Structure 1
Amino acid sequence: MENFEYFNTNTLSQHLVLRKDETKFGEKIKYPSNQEVSLSDFLNETKASFIVFGIKECVGIKANFGRLGDTHSWDVFLSSFLNIQNNKYLKASNVAVIGCLDYKKYDEEIARLNPNIPDDLQRLYEIVSEIDKDVTYMNTLIHRAGKKAIVIGGGHNNAYGNIKGLALAKGKSVNVVNFDAHTDFRTMEGRHSGNGFSYAFNEGFLDTYCVFGAHENYLNKYMMHQFKDQPEKLKLFTFEDLKVRFEKDFITSINNVNKLIKNKPYGIEIDVDAVENIASSAMSSSGFSVTETRQFVHLTANNANASYLHLCEGSASLGTSPANMLGKLLTYLVTDFIKAQLPYVK
């Protein structure tokens, strides 16, 4: 693939820090050591059940008039993930890191484009659509090989490719739960980070869509009408319902989400802007705690039909905390997903 960079020994050595009498995760993970072997062959041959890859792009966020960071979460994730302990609680031999989709070829062009200019905005939409094709292809390969996908980075525009790739691999529409301060169910005006779910839903790839933790201040009329008009398919659990007014119990609501989505393959989408004070495009002082987010991932991933985890919108440069804090959060969520899934994989 033109925009794909394989994970290799050089990448590993850049991030892995060895310590005497310890075995780090990075020492035991699997990765495509021979790049002459196609990704499809590697995925079909590897014994790893969990396939991790990154996406390095922010064009979807710019097309949605969002804040751009200058660091990608994939890099800070690797520095944390590869250096956790390989121990009895989680063995790295069941995990493969294959690389990342990198769109630096668009960087100069994107920097020149102004979303307030209609022609420029249209070009941003076109670039997002090109990225959609790659993300869809990667997810299709992973799921057709019978693996679980773990996708790190990029804007929430990439939910569209995650959903479409899973649906194409399974030959049917799929379900999704989105842990997010926003629904990302905006109008289909052109592809960007705010309408990946609405495109997937209207094109028939997404069946039941649950939004968990949306902030009521950011629900526009179009979104509210969509959820009101299609209550059997579109479900909304607002942050204020759960954590401000306590009209809904946190754990009970998660269990209710599980009942809605577990009947067919489903994805778990996590926008880190839902987590309080985490560096992201739409960082907020009000949100779920890191521990609550981990509980959410554990409980929603505890089913055989949980098929992928996507962690998006994080950028360490948009916050004041050290970069490794974002990396640790992403690592906790990935390992929580894997541990919850272990009983259901070969």
Structure 2
Amino acid sequence: MDSLKIYSQSEIDSLIISRDGETKLGEKVDIYSHSESDSSSNAAISLNGLKKSDAKFVLLGIPEDIGVRANAGLAGTSTAWRPALMAFLNIQSNRFLNGEEILVLGHFEIEEPEDSSIIALRNKVAEIDDLVYPVIEIIVSAGKIPIVIGGGHNNAYPIIKGTSLASRIAINVLNIDAHADLREQEGRHSGNGFTFALAENFIENYYMYGLHQSYNNEPILNQIEKKSNLKAIFFDDILKGTDAVELSELARAGLEIDLDSIQNVLSSAETPSGFSVNDIRKLILTNKRKFSYLHISEGATRLLDGRVSKLTSKLIAYLVSDFAKAQF
């Protein structure tokens, strides 16, 4: 059965490469400790259990590519989580980031559907939604900030839903992405997470930064043009000099980073033209606004067609550590 796997200290320790005279983040991070109330609940985690931790951030993974395949994409996004976690845990613990700010919760274990048809995959994505959003809701209700490493961009929907339900308001979302992911409600997949979140009133304003003009269809462009709560800055216009995202209305927004917006990063839709890694790092580090969550999606260390990259995991570790530093 699909479930949330909660990590023990020994599982964290097994990922740390120790060196004399150094302390790694993995040696400082917190883990989830079950509270008495957990035993009387069917939930994997509880509000009280999370509140026991002083950590500000809760890190968890959704290693799946079912949503990508349900959108006729290339499998591989399931491979990012574990290497990225290992890269993050082996960052130095020092004055810039100690590690005690972060609780490493675990990851969702998701079974493959026996039927690999598009319809079956989309039905499975809907099941993943129902698995993920209650956990996000508990994390946010406990006053913590989720940091989620995917997985496909389909997981934006349950993350937004869980955050909105915990906040009891529709939230703002900033998505750094080449694609708007506003495809039709044709069954759940990685291309329509924001469509569903908007339709169910979990999003107040949806900001898209870095969309590629040539990779968003005309119906999506018409939506953006007609709806006042959809606001986009195209990468093509950034190249012509529009180089700032308007953040004035983004109080407590969720931050989505689709790695296919960054050039030459192994992802489900890898691009030769896009933001540089340092462009994204600068945006995170210089932003003065506080975000309600971070979701990094669509990255891979190995794709079904055989392409591999060891750098994706370290890139994700940079983005997670930058985000944690910037939120203080």
Q: Sequence identity, in percent?
A: 39
Say if 1:16 and 1:79, in contact at 8 Å, map to a contact too.
yes
User: Which residue of structure 1 aligns with residue 232 of structure 2?
Assistant: 236
> Deviation at 1:188?
0.9
> Deviation at 1:57?
1.1
Matched, 1:315 2:303: no
Within the candidate set 118, 121, 124, 1:124 is matched to: 121
Matched, 1:333 2:319: yes
Say if 2:254 and 2:293, in contact at 8 Å, map to a contact too.
yes
Matched, 1:83 2:68: no
Q: What code does the residue aligned with 1:114 have? A: S
How is 1:93-242 mapped onto 2 (pairs within 5 angstroms)? Answer: 93-103=100-110, 105-106=111-112, 109=114, 112-115=115-118, 121=119, 123-230=120-227, 232-242=228-238
Matched, 1:259 2:248: yes
> Deviation at 1:42?
2.2
Say if 1:6 and 1:35, in contact at 8 Å, map to a contact too.
no
> Deviation at 1:7?
1.4
Structure 1: any 5+ residue segments left out of the alignment?
Answer: 116-120
Task: Give me the whole-angstrom Cα distance separating, in 2, the residues matched to 1:315 and 1:101.
Answer: 17
User: Secondary structure in 2 aligned to 1:68?
Assistant: coil
> Deviation at 1:133?
1.1
User: Which residue of structure 1 aligns with residue 285 of structure 2?
Assistant: 298
User: Secondary structure in 2 aligned to 1:96?
Assistant: strand
How many correspondences in the alignment? Answer: 319
Q: What code does the residue aligned with 2:122 have? A: Y
* CA 124–144 in structure 1, closer or farther in 2 if over 3 Å, else same: same
Within the candidate set 75, 81, 94, 1:74 is matched to: 81
User: Secondary structure in 1 aligned to 2:280?
Assistant: helix
User: Secondary structure in 1 aligned to 2:155?
Assistant: helix
Task: Give me the whole-angstrom Cα distance separating, in 2, the residues matched to 1:145 and 1:289.
Answer: 35
Instruction: State the 4+ residue runs in structure 1 displaced beyond 4 angstroms.
Output: 33-37
**What TM-score do you get using the length of structure 2 for normalisation?**
0.93
Matched, 1:62 2:48: no
> Deviation at 1:13?
3.0
Residue by residue over 1:224-266, the C-alpha shift from the partner in whole angstroms, topping out at 9 and shown as x without a partner, is: 1111111x210011110002x23x1x2xx22x1x11322xx31
How is 1:279-290 mapped onto 2 (pairs within 5 angstroms)? Answer: 279-290=266-277
> Deviation at 1:320?
4.9
Task: Give me the whole-angstrom Cα distance separating, in 2, the residues matched to 1:70 and 1:93.
Answer: 28
Say if 2:146 and 2:294, in contact at 8 Å, map to a contact too.
yes
User: Which residue of structure 1 aligns with residue 41 of structure 2?
Assistant: none
Q: What code does the residue aligned with 2:91 have? A: I
Say if 1:227 and 1:235, in contact at 8 Å, map to a contact too.
yes
> Deviation at 1:2?
4.9
Task: Give me the whole-angstrom Cα distance separating, in 1, the residues matched to 2:307 and 2:79.
Answer: 15
Task: Give me the whole-angstrom Cα distance separating, in 2, the residues matched to 1:180 and 1:14.
Answer: 34
* CA 128–321 in structure 1, closer or farther in 2 if over 3 Å, else same: closer
What RMSD over aligned residues (CA atoms) do the two structures have, in Å? 1.8
Q: Which has the higher helix share?
A: 1
> Deviation at 1:11?
2.2
Say if 1:187 and 1:222, in contact at 8 Å, map to a contact too.
no
Say if 1:132 and 1:161, in contact at 8 Å, map to a contact too.
yes
Task: Give me the whole-angstrom Cα distance separating, in 1, the residues matched to 2:238 and 2:75.
Answer: 29
Q: What code does the residue aligned with 2:280 have? A: T
Task: Give me the whole-angstrom Cα distance separating, in 2, the residues matched to 1:85 and 1:135.
Answer: 30
**What TM-score do you get using the length of structure 1 for normalisation?**
0.88
